[in-house]
Each structure stands twice: as structure tokens, then as C-alpha cells.
A and B are shown apart, each in its own frame.
Chain A
Amino acid sequence: QKEVEQNSGPLSVPEGAIASLNCTYSDRGSQSFFWYRQYSGKSPELIMFIYSNGDKEDGRFTAQLNKASQYVSLLIRDSQPSDSATYLCAVSTGANSKLTFGKGITLSVRP
């Protein structure tokens, strides 16, 4: 069964620190990788996606992909209390294929 695993968490970091969220996946055919953020009581919203090995930066967020090791991570620099949410990793095996989500990790940023 194709799985996406995330650290069980929760993760707590002080304001201004770097938060590192990790995700591993089992299907070597996976091609696209997504990070969603979900605030309590709200629906998931896309933060960013990555499909090439290496780093991709968008503001305070950096996604890192290593297909050989089958992991994808999300770094949040200068963490803010407003970043406190559940972060979901999702994986797709290609066009027209479904997204498989991890169970998410809850991040708490302490002021």
C-alpha cells in the first residue's frame, strides 16, 4: 500500500526559529510533492509544491526533495505564531493520479 509518513509530532518551536517538517513516501514512482497548511477548523491550503530534486524557496518556506531517499521536507524560517497549524504532506504519482496525504504534523510556534 502506498504510504506517506510524517513525524508524529506535535512540534513546538520558539518564535523566530526554523521549523523543520519531514515526510517520507513509499512509492518510488511518486512525481509531485505538495505541502498544505491547515488551521484548526479550516480546510487545507496549498503552501507549495516541488517535483525536482533539490530545494525550492518561496518566501520563508523552503521545500526540499530527495527522491533517492524518498523524503520531502518543509523548512519554515523565522517562524511566527501565525504559522501554528497542521502541515500536511501529499504525494502524487503523476498526471491524472490521486493525491495521497500523510496524517499531518501539528506545529506550535511559541511567542
Chain B
Amino acid sequence: KAGVTQTPRYLIKTRGQQVTLSCSPISGHRSVSWYQQTPGQGLQFLFEYFSETQRNKGNFPGRFSGRQFSNSRSEMNVSTLELGDSALYLCASEGDKGGQETQYFGPGTRLLVL
């Protein structure tokens, strides 16, 4: 099976702009979670989508939003970018491994906000 894919891999934006990141889960996986990773805060949960519905949400401002399509592909959007949004954005799709729901990460999108 192909792994989780994310596009684009790298992105440079300026403050105030918006950005859309895309994630394609492993075939058959219906859950997609998004995380922000920074050196200071580590890996922080943004939100999770399952069957096109947001199932869980982290503590991020409303500038961060997401959606999931019927084919389980997911996008996240960040509006009005701030310098502090510079980070590695990871998505993970969830599937069964030995009876345990397990998350598999994509390669990430590295976002730099100038």
C-alpha cells in the first residue's frame, strides 16, 4: 500500500496570506489527523476528520480549519498567516494494526512564514 502523501512539501508565504495543505491517506483509511510540529512546542494536535466530519479538535485559533472529502483526502487551511505559524505540518491517517487503531504519518509540509 502506498503511504500517506502530503502536498506541497515546502511552502514560503508572507504574513497575512492564507495557505491550503493537502493530505491523501493510506488507501482504506477513513480518519485523518493534522498536527503542527515546532521545536518549542513539539507535536500539537490540530484536528481529526472521519468520514467527512470533524471528530476531534485541538486548541488552535479559528484561523486553522480543515475539511475532508468523500475519498478521505483532507485539506487544512490557515488564514491570515502569522510568523508563529512557521512549522512542520503533519497529517496522519489511522488504520488497524494488530487490533489497535494506529496512526501513520505523512512526510509533512514545511511552512515558512516571512
Name A's B-contacting residues (CB within 8 A). Answer: 32, 34, 36, 42-46, 49, 51, 88, 95-104
* B100 touches A (CB below 8 Å): yes
What is the chain A residue whose CB lies nearest that of B57?
A98
Contact in complex: A104, B33 (CB < 8 Å): no
9-residue interface stretch from B41-49, B63-71, B73-81: B41-49
- A98–B48 Cα distance when bound, in Å, is 8
Name B's A-contacting residues (CB within 8 A). Answer: 33, 35, 41-45, 48, 50, 55-56, 58, 90, 97, 100-108
What is the chain B residue whose CB lies nearest that of A102?
B42
Main SS of the interface on chain B?
A: strand
Contact in complex: A46, B50 (CB < 8 Å): no
CB distance from B19 to the nearest CB of A (A): 19
Contact in complex: B105, A44 (CB < 8 Å): yes
Contact in complex: B100, A101 (CB < 8 Å): no
Contact in complex: A101, B43 (CB < 8 Å): yes
Q: Which of B33, B55, B101, B107 has the most CB of A within 10 A?
A: B101
Task: Name the B residues within 8 Å of A45 (CB-CB).
Answer: 105
- A27–B41 Cα distance when bound, in Å, is 20
Contact in complex: B108, A96 (CB < 8 Å): no
Given contacts A96-B50, A98-B58, A99-B33, contact A46 B45 (CB under 8 A): no
Contact in complex: A43, B108 (CB < 8 Å): yes
Contact in complex: A46, B101 (CB < 8 Å): no
What is the chain A residue whose CB lies nearest that of B106?
A43
